[in-house]
């Protein structure tokens, strides 16, 4: 039975994330969004608050918290700005949790510990210029040569690409299977930014998430030690799908923070703005839009909490996480559009934050699986055309 009450530990984590959001992010976010730069104090603040080690056991330098705590922190950070939640998504959901689950003990000691402590920043490299949702369409290769792999290729639209120290990168190790689009030829590697042949660049001119770093990673004859292969050759596709389960979870929870930010902004504005002699909070259609934000927030929250509960029990959560991501992102996009509408002409300017919410909300319906792919996934589950099979690795148990 799912319990929707929060423990003292979960509330403490939520409050820590809220404090960082309200003190470090919100006061200057408009300035950094306009400048399209990262707040340089954000990473140190997250590390100092131990917010970069969610769900990672204390023996590996983590906070030792559960998945509901991770969801609550994701919501609080996105309430401030999507760029802050993205850090949790890629650093924890797409790197640390997969390394905890799939990597060797040696790899955990070398890469997971500094990541969980916030001493190093990590990210995930799957998407390429011509391959997003179509994961087997990637072109990066890693050819075995003695005790190392020679990696060549390019990753695109990678969050934290230009600031991360470590990348969980995916490449074809079986070129015959690459020709056949057989996903069992894909493998996963931990790559360090400082290695020869690794270069990164920042993408400018994004519609949203401007206060966060998004970029590309190029691998040119990079010599990757064989011991940096994660799990085994051919396991890359399964690992990537596992990664996306965790990343999508944080996106779903974070989107609820954006919905709440839209609702709060509209409540505040509707009590201040007057038309036709009354505050606009008296207008029924304004009330309807705010009511829809409230409803969207509530049921989207229940969806990500269900997924978090499953994760806490080490149960498969692909279906629940996909549904939570799809619905929460849809509701966030709708809430942001209506928030601009409530603010009228002022919503069309950056004088109010809803303009930023509107731009940020669009990205979530694209990354971590487009809304279209999640729509098809849910249809296939309902039609019996899709089912979750056991993984080679179970999600590690967490403290609750």
Between helix 236-272 and helix 354-364 the angle, nearest 10°, is 160
Mean pLDDT, residues 372-397 taken together: 89
Q: What is the mean pLDDT of the chain?
A: 96
pLDDT higher than 90, residue 395: no
Pinpoint the residues of the chain covered by CATH 1.20.140.10: 237-383
Give the tens place of pLDDT for each residue, 64-78.
Answer: 999 999 999 999 999
The CATH number, out of the four listed (3.90.226.10, 1.20.140.10, 3.40.50.800, 3.90.1150.10), of the domain defined by the range 237-383: 1.20.140.10
Task: Give CATH 2.40.110.10 domain extents, the chain.
Answer: 123-233
Residue 396 has a pLDDT of: 75
Q: How high is the pLDDT of residue 400?
A: 64
| 156 contacts 216 by C-beta, under 8 angstroms | yes
Average pLDDT rounded to a whole number, residues 42-53: 95
The pLDDT assigned to 392 comes to: 76
Q: pLDDT grade, residue 7 (50/70/90)?
A: very high
pLDDT at 311 over 90: yes
- Residue 1 binned pLDDT confidence (cut-offs 50, 70, 90): low
Q: What angle do CA 160, 251, 79 make, to 5 degrees?
A: 90
pLDDT over 80 (residue 282)? yes
Write down the pLDDT at residue 3: 76
For residue 399, what pLDDT band results from cuts at 50, 70 and 90?
A: low
Radius of gyration of the chain (CA): 21
Whether the CA torsion 289, 295, 298, 301 is positive or negative: it is negative
Does residue 90 surpass a pLDDT of 70? yes
CB-CB contact of 286 with 255 (8 Å): no
Predicted TM-score (pTM) of this structure: 0.96
Active-site pick, 58, 78, 368, 397: 368
Per-residue model confidence as pLDDT tens digits over 222-252:
999 999 999 999 999 999 999 999 999 999 9
Longest Cα–Cα distance of the chain, Å, equals 79
What's the rounded mean pLDDT across residues 342-355? 97
Q: What are phi and psi of 389, to 5 degrees?
A: -95, 160
CA distances 128 to 66, 85, 170, 221, 319, Å, are: 32, 22, 10, 17, 25
CATH 1.10.540.10 maps onto the chain at 8-121
Which residue, among 289, 273, 357, has the nearest Cα to 30 in the 3D structure? 357
By the 8 A CB rule, do 155 and 169 touch? yes
Catalytic residue status for 368: yes
Average pLDDT over residues 18-26: 97
- CATH number among 1.20.1530.20, 1.10.150.120, 3.30.420.40, 2.40.110.10, domain 123-233: 2.40.110.10
* Confidence at 379, pLDDT banded by 50, 70, 90: very high
Q: What superfamily does domain 8-121 belong to in CATH?
A: Acyl-CoA dehydrogenase/oxidase, N-terminal domain (1.10.540.10)
Determine what percent of the chain is predicted with pLDDT higher than 70.
Answer: 99
Confidence at residue 164, expressed as pLDDT on a 0 to 100 scale: 98
- pLDDT band, residue 390 (cuts 50/70/90): confident
Question: What average pLDDT does this structure show over 110-114?
Answer: 98
């Amino acid at each position: 039975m799912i319990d929707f009450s929060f423990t003292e530990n979960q509330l403490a984590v939520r409050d820590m994330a809220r404090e960082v959001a309200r003190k470090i992010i919100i006061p200057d976010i408009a300035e950094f969004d306009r400048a399209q730069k990262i707040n340089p104090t954000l990473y140190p603040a997250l590390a100092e608050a131990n917010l970069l080690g969610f769900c990672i056991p204390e023996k590996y330098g983590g906070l030792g918290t559960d998945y509901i705590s991770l969801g609550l922190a994701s919501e609080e950070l996105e309430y401030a700005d999507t760029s802050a939640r993205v850090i949790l998504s890629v650093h924890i959901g797409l790197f640390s949790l997969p390394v905890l689950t799939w990597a060797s003990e040696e790899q955990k000691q070398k890469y997971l510990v500094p990541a969980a402590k916030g001493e190093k920043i990590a990210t995930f490299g799957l998407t390429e210029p011509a391959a997003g949702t179509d994961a087997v369409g990637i072109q990066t290769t890693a050819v075995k040569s003695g005790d190392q792999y020679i990696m060549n290729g390019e990753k695109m639209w990678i969050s934290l690409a230009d600031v991360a120290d470590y990348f969980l990168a995916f490449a074809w190790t079986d070129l015959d299977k690459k020709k056949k689009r057989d996903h069992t030829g894909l493998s996963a590697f931990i790559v360090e930014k400082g290695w020869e042949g690794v270069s990164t660049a920042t993408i400018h001119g994004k519609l949203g998430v401007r206060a966060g770093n998004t970029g590309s990673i190029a691998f040119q004859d990079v010599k990757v030690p064989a011991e940096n292969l994660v799990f085994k050759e051919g396991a890359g596709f399964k690992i990537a799908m596992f990664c996306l389960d965790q990343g999508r979870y944080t996106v779903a929870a974070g989107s609820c923070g954006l919905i709440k930010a839209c609702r709060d902004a509209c409540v505040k504005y509707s009590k201040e703005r007057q038309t036709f002699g009354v505050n606009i909070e008296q207008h029924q259609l304004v009330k309807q839009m705010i009511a829809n934000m409230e409803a969207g927030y509530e049921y989207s929250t229940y969806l990500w909490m269900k997924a978090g509960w499953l994760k806490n029990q080490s149960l498969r959560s692909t279906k629940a996480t996909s549904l939570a991501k799809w619905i929460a992102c849809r509701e966030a996009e709708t809430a942001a559009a209506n928030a601009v509408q409530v603010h009228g002409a002022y919503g069309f300017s950056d004088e109010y934050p809803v303009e930023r919410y509107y731009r940020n909300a669009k990205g979530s319906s694209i990354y971590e699986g487009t809304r279209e792919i999640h729509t098809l996934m849910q249809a296939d589950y309902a039609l019996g055309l899709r089912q979750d099979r056991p993984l080679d690795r179970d999600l590690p148990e967490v403290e609750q």
